Amino acid sequence: MALVQNPILPGTYPDPSICRVGDDYYLVTSTFEYFPGLPVFHSRDLATWTQIGHVIDRDGMLDFDGIASSGGLYAPTIRHHDGLFWVVCTLVDRRDGAQDGGPSGNFIVTAADPAGPWSDPVWIDEGGIDPSLFFDDDGRAWMHGTRLAADPEWFHQTEVWLRELDVTSMRLTGPEHVLWTGALRGAVWAEGPHLYKIDGTYYLLAAEAGTEFHHAISVARAETVTGPYEGCKGNPVLTHRHLGRGEPVVGVGHADLVQGPDGSWWAVLLAMRTYGGYHYNLGRETHLVPVVWEDGWPVFAPGQGRVPTAVEVPFADAAAVRSAPQAVTGGPVLPGDVRWTTLRRPAALFATSHGDGWELRVRPETLTDPRTPSFLGLRQQHQDVDVSVRLTTDGLGVGEEAGLAIRQSEKDHVTFTATPSDGTVTVRATHTRGGVAHVLGEVTTTARGPLGLAIEARGQDYTLVLDDGTRRRIVAVADGRTLDTVAAGGFLGLWMGLYATSNGTPSAATVSFERVEYVPQ
């Protein structure tokens, strides 16, 4: 028996999907416009997780160019069938600022090894979002997903559709079936559907009410895969919306079920930890809850009815859990760390590693562009954390800057950068809010040698600190309450990372970053 802390994946790891193969569990989550996309995690006990790769990890697998923040890869599903791992997902690319490019919509990829390589995407001729796969025990495969209802009774009414999938041609075949429009009349976005066959009965699990405070998990069942489906009288079977906005965990939804080796049942799901008022800068995180079956229906978090802060997993070894590396260990973040992400295209486009640091080529793109600026980011996974780096600005030219950034979206972010000029270096903190930039503070230094820049997050205060080797100065404090999705919109938590730009002018400059550290407090 081991006590496992929630969330099991802290930081922006939303829309979790899970499958079990023998004694091994595999889990994927959404990544939107970040690259590489769809991280794959492995566990043998549901308690300790190791990232083993990404599904979308090659330039050109998908066209992300022009996809604005909170577009991109939505709600993947991972399943295992006939010796192959299958992932289905949606690429959403027609949001603010998106340009015409490659295909978008629902696609399938497969792999013999979940660590990769994964196949190139096969596009499915069906609209909507949040596709899922169900392999029945009669050998037939079914694809299902969510779309806006063709003839809605209320605003944003959605429906869950189902069609058979020919796994040889990778094409949908046969008639289409509409299975579900949600448990409650008037509820929006019955989404993230997953089908299961348990003891001869088909179960449809779905989230509804939108991925925010009112999010909820509902379930229906049927005698045949095509329905008709009856909803559980206890719907929603899990939500926190009735607990009020003062609850420390909100927005519970988007669950996927898995059975343990001892016959027990579990669900992974997303939820958000609020702090500093009703704000959730860490984004939608992956949590774990136990599930039991009563009267032919699943009961989530029995005896509690809410996502617990810790879960007892009977087949996990307590000593192993205590000694296992945490999801984030404080200290240097080396170039080979799988937590590094970029925007839309691979880091190799602008970054090379050297020792324990990076050299970034300065690009014209800025964080306001839905392109690929020179930005290497890490998810913020702790409410209180220090992110620091030492950088050398000797190679920068006029109008060029480099340093750290806190990113929510194109319209909402903070930059903390250095710009050299005539023997001095100006270090400036700028907060872009709603697309409008405001200078929070700046200082000038004549110190030679590398500069130390740090973001010290304490709750909703993001203190920006300069250490030029002679003294330590606070340049500004950014208000994190303006950076989460409550204030800024969208679906993402915060990323912190390295940033360099020439602000629209072509450049051949490079910047050296050393001793990047992420240290939870």
Q: Which class is 331-520 in CATH?
A: mainly beta
SS3 143: strand
Closest residue by Cα to residue 43 from 307, 262, 324, 273 = 324
Q: How far apart are CA 425 and CA 450, in angstroms?
A: 11
Contact, 471 vs 443, CB < 8 A? no
Query: For 57, left (φ over 0), alpha (ψ -120 to 50), or beta?
Result: alpha
- The tokens of 202 are what? 């088909």
* Cis ω before 7 (30° cut-off from 0): yes
Burial of residue 125 (number of CB atoms within 10 Å: 0-12, 13-18, 19+): exposed
Shortest CA distance to 165 belongs to which of 139, 136, 140?
A: 140
E strands of 330-435, at which residues? 331-332, 342-343, 351-354, 357-361, 374-379, 385-392, 401-407, 413-421, 424-433
| 341, burial (CB in 10 Å: exposed 0-12, middle 13-18, buried 19+) | buried
CATH number for the domain running over 13-323 = 2.115.10.20
Residue 123 · residue 137 · CB < 8 Å? no
User: What ranges make up the beta strands (E) of 199-321?
Assistant: 201-208, 216-222, 230-231, 238-239, 249-259, 265-273, 285-294, 297-300, 310-313
CA distance 281 to 482: 9
User: Which SS3 state, helix, strand or coil, does residue 331 take?
Assistant: strand
For 320, the enclosing helix (H) or strand (E) is: helix 318-323
Is the N-terminal amide bond of 261 cis, ω within 30° of 0?
no
Q: Please say whether the dihedral angle defined by the alpha carbons of residues 86, 316, 217 and 227, taken in this order, is positive or negative.
A: positive
Q: Which two tokens stand for residue 199?
A: 């003891």
Determine phi and psi for 190, rounding to 5 degrees.
-75, 100
Q: Is 255 exposed, middle or buried (0-12, 13-18, 19+ CB in 10 A)?
A: buried
Q: Give the mean pLDDT per block of 10 residues along the chain (521 residues).
A: 93 98 97 98 95 96 93 97 97 58 83 98 94 97 96 94 97 97 92 97 96 96 98 97 95 97 96 95 98 98 96 87 62 92 97 95 97 97 97 92 98 97 94 97 91 98 96 97 94 97 96 96 92
d(CA 353, CA 366): 21
**Cβ–Cβ < 8 Å for 62, 83:** no
Residue 13, CB half-sphere, CA atoms under 13 Å: how many?
28
Domain boundaries, the chain: 13-323, 331-520
Q: Which two tokens stand for residue 278?
A: 């009703």
Q: Write the single-letter amino acid at 391.
A: L
Position 325 scores a pLDDT of 55
- In angstroms and rounded to an integer, the radius of gyration of the C-alpha atoms of the chain is 23
Catalogue the active-site residues. Answer: 15, 191
- The CA distance from 290 to 300, in Å, is 6
CB 33 within 8 A of CB 72: yes
Q: What is the rounded distance in angstroms from the CA atom of residue 400 to the CA atom of residue 132?
A: 46
Cα distances from 53 to residues 24, 30, 147, 339, in angstroms, run 15, 14, 30, 10
